[in-house]
Structure 1
């Protein structure tokens, strides 16, 4: 008998899937966690999107890789560990952004990303049992056939008028079931509709083949489940086409959440079916599929898990079952229960002779966070246990209606007059506060404002009205936020924490305003929150989200430092470039003259002038130089004439030849 590789999940339930040795779970914080079912330890952890923009919507384990070449020889030497043909490796994750992620549990990283095929969120992914193909259905009403070797779309066709919510491939790999409002069977070779099935009034969320026989022999059966439907319908694919109505119905206690079955190869073998409902119960069915059955079939056995009560005489509380898988030995079951953040995986044998089986487990000690507590110096007071009583507000997972406690109403009736006012008086005070008159009582207006905000907040949480909540959460006054949270009744604290944690996952600007409200809730209602038995599941999402944001903050600070360094270097280079572009032509040039010129020019006796008369001084100096040159020239001519006269007087001048002869 073969166990189905993956199970379809409802859209309102977080996706999880069993393999032979692993459990893949996507929790509320958006992380994928792969748990080892043998050791019950965390094997892998992966964050599909840090900003939760591409959260996981569906999960499917790939077929086991058949290693017949080299790796098989290496595995023969080691005796420990599962066989390679029994160990699945790849995990397909459909995201809300329209992409499909192929994650490898051996590498601990993404194998490939399939993008560009869908315009809406992916609702279902299914592997081909033999070929390296993957099928995905989306909100864009299309089915995409992916080629995993190339990572591209091989074929894409429109499957329905509405969104495709579920897919299932036949064991022989020749047929494909798709469902939205109607169920269609496709021939994968021609991509044409082989059959149509109508019978569900709501959206179909679960599809699974029950037999592996060919459709021509009238022995091919499949089952389907829908939203708000407490029946699993079984359909027979007939060769004559008379298969418009379901042949068998399985009765459930609630909407099916997780399905695992062992198919039947012949009419002599019964189909074993394990169904986990939305209410947390498990139902086991065994039936021989050999034709129509008029009456709905009841489960052979129903299983429920409960926790050990705290104290003597306490009633045990039910524990939600997340998923269940049928083991190949046909006697034992693999159960996953608790919460999605830290599920408990257990392999147990169920006695199917009993109609109702209740498994009592100590869940609180297993789910408690391991914190190394330091030695406290606070003394514990001695309390008489006989006289004292322990009050626990509600049961795990309680969703009590948000109402004001009777004690608060009695106190308000017994209190002073200003707290009990009619609607007319309150409206008058609101008008007075808007006008800002001097004779107004500030305390009464503040209490009125906080009371109205608290009432509006409770009404918004009850009706889930986004307009009221947006108006309240946009306030920035710390005193108003603190007083509003302090006046909330205790049953409204958990819905407020869930709403705040949901808003923290959005835009960072809205998270800034939400943190102030979260701080006020944790400071005002810590005592109430610490008394809740399911505190781990309620605040675990918030804790993991804050932890991921803090880890991302360290990376952002490093990036900020690098960018700041680059910006300062660019700024410094720009400033140096501006200095080099300055005008280097001098406005004033002063040249020093020689000592002779200085003596001749007579600069020593010149009076000091202001800086404004520099140009005039330059002109005067040039004129003086010109006159001095002229004077020097005239003096040189006069000296030459004097020398000539002296030479004549002394007889140095040229004589006439006659005089020379006379002297001779």
Structure 2
């Protein structure tokens, strides 16, 4: 029973097939699924998912072995039937897009796709022992139960607020373990929590049942390993429910990535355990699970694979460690199946290890093994299967005469017409219209550039380093055309395109504006591939420093632009204030008051006085005389009033007074 290590970001998922251990499934950094034959150490099958770059594989699980029931059946011998029954077929792949791919090794193609249950990355997939049911746990915190016969979702339930990082189904198919930071045991019939286990401070990445006994017998144990944790904990499912703490712990040198064990069926049988750590070492344990153990257990044997030192190279005498990718225990105690080296081309070896020694170092020449396996694989793929009686004729050899076939006249005319229309690559480049005007109401005979030709021309220009072809392609301004071209670009041409864009961005600023569009499309559509390149920082260092320097200069230029704009506005304002304008003497408002008759007469007299300016002295003298006469009359009236008061005639009316006078 093996645990997948697909939830780790740095470790690529890999798993041996069940029972026979005939195949090793590996998902490398390029997103391709490769199935290796463990007997011949050659590539058996290769599958490239349609979204292998945007939705990479995150976890792998082999399904139970089954027979191939497709196609017409015939009577088989007993030996053939036994081989067919032990053959591994279905393989479940969890993806970063939330879907689950079911791949069939018998068909050599995709069996079905399970979608619509998860909104986040699938972290773990597990098969039910019956084989027709699959469970998946994802980042959205849900567990989905799939029916593979119909390819539909049976049910889905919420586990916790955090993500589900690991799953495991009990051997009897009644219980399911799920873990994020807390481990929960579910009853698959009722979908209710049966037990809870807490003790890990980080996300649990590995779960595996160690015994096949029922849970009520106090003999059911399971293992758990967490991220950044160097301990492998063993938990006991007790009938009284007092199972809060781990009963046994195994010490490791690093975080566990891949686990294989032989489960114990009785209390007296020991559990054999093989653990592959992140540092590339393999640790072997053997322990009888019969209760609590206070002291952590150290491995009985540690295995390290290394390559021999290079001769004649300074410091090359010391061996170089080779990481172990996966392992499987054999039927014998000392038998091991190892996969080590690189995920792209692993080396698979069946060996025996002396478990009596605490530390074992296996010296292997990985490069020589890789070259041999690559040559045999290529020869098997490239060599065609030809009948011994057939003759193979190659053009150019002496004695070769191709049979002349009679061709109808219409076909010859079509061929001649097609030949006359064919043009060389230079003529096509010369007549190529990058505006694609022929598609939108242009002339029918005009040449239109399609997206496929853009991608092909771009690859040709990058391989031949032809500036004319690159200028024709990279000068386009349509973002839709750029995105389609970059999306159809093959993976080996991505890094050369980034280098070419970096060179062109260092030139004219106008060309840099156009290159930024291409660079944005490359980083958006091929981000998953670029993130897997180990030395990407060194390759993109020039581009990063170029963009950073231009961004810093842009801030300085904006400040300078603001200061200059402020100075220009101040100078214009000062010039406006110094300019003197002529005063406007016209009245803004005229108010006319209504004049009376006396005023009109007075105004007429004033006008006459102004006209007779020569007699002004006489007028003044007359006015003086009139005022003196009025004063005298006033004095006389006052005297008369005094007299009347003295005589007692003050009560007389004014009219009588005038009569008496």
User: Does TM, normalized by the shorter one, top 0.5?
Assistant: yes
Residue equivalent to 2:348: 345
For 1:315 and 1:286, locate their aligned partners in 2 and report how far apart those are by CA, in whole Å.
32
Change (3 A) 1:346 1:521: same
Report the CA distance between 1:187 and its aligned residue: 0.1
Please tell me whether the aligned partners of residues 141 and 163 of structure 2 are also in contact (alpha carbons under 8 angstroms): yes
User: What are the Cα deviations for residues 442-488 of structure 1, in whole angstroms up to 9, with x where unaligned?
Assistant: xxxxxxxxxxxxxxxxxxxxxxxxxxxxxxx8995627769xxxxxx
Partner of 2:367: helix, strand, or coil?
helix
Residue equivalent to 2:389: none
For 1:194 and 1:502, locate their aligned partners in 2 and report how far apart those are by CA, in whole Å.
51
Change (3 A) 1:357 1:71: farther
For 2:189 and 2:239, locate their aligned partners in 1 and report how far apart those are by CA, in whole Å.
19
Residue equivalent to 1:17: 15
Tell me whether 1:58 sits opposite 2:59 in the alignment: yes
User: What are the Cα deviations for residues 276-319 of structure 1, in whole angstroms up to 9, with x where unaligned?
Assistant: 00000000000000000000000010000000111156111000
Partner of 1:83: helix, strand, or coil?
helix
For 2:285 and 2:105, locate their aligned partners in 1 and report how far apart those are by CA, in whole Å.
32
Residue equivalent to 2:503: 478
Q: TM-score if structure 2 supplies the norm length?
A: 0.56
Report the CA distance between 1:268 and its aligned residue: 1.1
User: What are the Cα deviations for residues 477-517 of structure 1, in whole angstroms up to 9, with x where unaligned?
Assistant: 627769xxxxxxxxxxxxxxxxxx999674269999xx9x9
Matches within 5 A, 1:534-549: none
Report the CA distance between 1:11 and its aligned residue: 1.8
For 1:357 and 1:481, locate their aligned partners in 2 and report how far apart those are by CA, in whole Å.
54
Report the CA distance between 1:356 and its aligned residue: 0.4
Residue equivalent to 1:321: 324
Report the CA distance between 1:87 and its aligned residue: 1.8
Change (3 A) 1:510 1:185: closer
Residue equivalent to 2:148: 148
Residue equivalent to 2:208: 208
Tell me whether 1:267 sits opposite 2:285 in the alignment: no
Report the CA distance between 1:49 and its aligned residue: 3.0
Matches within 5 A, 1:151-190: 151-190=151-190
Residue equivalent to 1:359: 362
Change (3 A) 1:270 1:509: closer
For 2:51 and 2:4, locate their aligned partners in 1 and report how far apart those are by CA, in whole Å.
26
For 1:327 and 1:243, locate their aligned partners in 2 and report how far apart those are by CA, in whole Å.
32
Report the CA distance between 1:66 and its aligned residue: 5.6
Query: Bigger CA drift: 51-60 or 132-141?
Result: 51-60
Count of residues in correspondence between the two structures: 399
Q: TM-score if structure 1 supplies the norm length?
A: 0.56
Within the candidate set 7, 22, 33, 2:4 is matched to 7
Partner of 1:239: helix, strand, or coil?
coil
Report the CA distance between 1:259 and its aligned residue: 0.4
- Please tell me whether Structure 1 or Structure 2 has the larger radius of gyration of its CA atoms: 2
User: What are the Cα deviations for residues 8-65 of structure 1, in whole angstroms up to 9, with x where unaligned?
Assistant: 4442211000111000000000000000001111011011235612210000000111
For 1:474 and 1:84, locate their aligned partners in 2 and report how far apart those are by CA, in whole Å.
51
For 2:75 and 2:63, locate their aligned partners in 1 and report how far apart those are by CA, in whole Å.
23
Please tell me whether the aligned partners of residues 7 and 123 of structure 2 are also in contact (alpha carbons under 8 angstroms): no
For 1:113 and 1:233, locate their aligned partners in 2 and report how far apart those are by CA, in whole Å.
35
User: What are the Cα deviations for residues 534-584 of structure 1, in whole angstroms up to 9, with x where unaligned?
Assistant: xxxxxxxxxxxxxxxxxxxxxxxxxxxxxxxxxxxxxxxxxxxxxxxxxxx
Report the CA distance between 1:367 and its aligned residue: 3.2
Please tell me whether the aligned partners of residues 199 and 245 of structure 2 are also in contact (alpha carbons under 8 angstroms): yes
For 2:277 and 2:529, locate their aligned partners in 1 and report how far apart those are by CA, in whole Å.
35
Change (3 A) 1:502 1:48: farther
Please tell me whether the aligned partners of residues 31 and 52 of structure 2 are also in contact (alpha carbons under 8 angstroms): no
Change (3 A) 1:67 1:266: farther
Report the CA distance between 1:69 and its aligned residue: 12
Residue equivalent to 1:492: none
For 2:521 and 2:362, locate their aligned partners in 1 and report how far apart those are by CA, in whole Å.
37
Report the CA distance between 1:365 and its aligned residue: 2.0
For 2:47 and 2:299, locate their aligned partners in 1 and report how far apart those are by CA, in whole Å.
37
Residue equivalent to 2:336: 333
Residue equivalent to 2:111: 111
Please tell me whether the aligned partners of residues 184 and 196 of structure 1 are also in contact (alpha carbons under 8 angstroms): yes
Please tell me whether the aligned partners of residues 37 and 345 of structure 1 are also in contact (alpha carbons under 8 angstroms): yes
Matches within 5 A, 1:246-325: 246-311=246-311, 314-325=317-328
Compute the RMSD of aligned alpha carbons: 3.4
For 1:93 and 1:286, locate their aligned partners in 2 and report how far apart those are by CA, in whole Å.
31
Partner of 2:85: helix, strand, or coil?
helix
Residue equivalent to 1:486: none
Partner of 2:24: helix, strand, or coil?
strand
Partner of 1:64: helix, strand, or coil?
coil
For 1:68 and 1:105, locate their aligned partners in 2 and report how far apart those are by CA, in whole Å.
13
Partner of 1:365: helix, strand, or coil?
helix
Instruction: List gaps (5 residues or longer) in structure 1.
Output: 373-472, 483-500, 525-664
Report the CA distance between 1:364 and its aligned residue: 1.8
Please tell me whether the aligned partners of residues 68 and 106 of structure 2 are also in contact (alpha carbons under 8 angstroms): no
For 2:352 and 2:529, locate their aligned partners in 1 and report how far apart those are by CA, in whole Å.
48
User: What are the Cα deviations for residues 625-646 of structure 1, in whole angstroms up to 9, with x where unaligned?
Assistant: xxxxxxxxxxxxxxxxxxxxxx
For 1:164 and 1:511, locate their aligned partners in 2 and report how far apart those are by CA, in whole Å.
26
Matches within 5 A, 1:211-610: 211-311=211-311, 314-368=317-371, 476=501, 478=503, 506-507=524-525
Partner of 1:364: helix, strand, or coil?
helix
User: What are the Cα deviations for residues 588-615 of structure 1, in whole angstroms up to 9, with x where unaligned?
Assistant: xxxxxxxxxxxxxxxxxxxxxxxxxxxx
Instruction: List gaps (5 residues or longer) in structure 2.
Output: 380-497, 508-518, 543-661
Matches within 5 A, 1:43-54: 43-50=44-51, 52-54=53-55
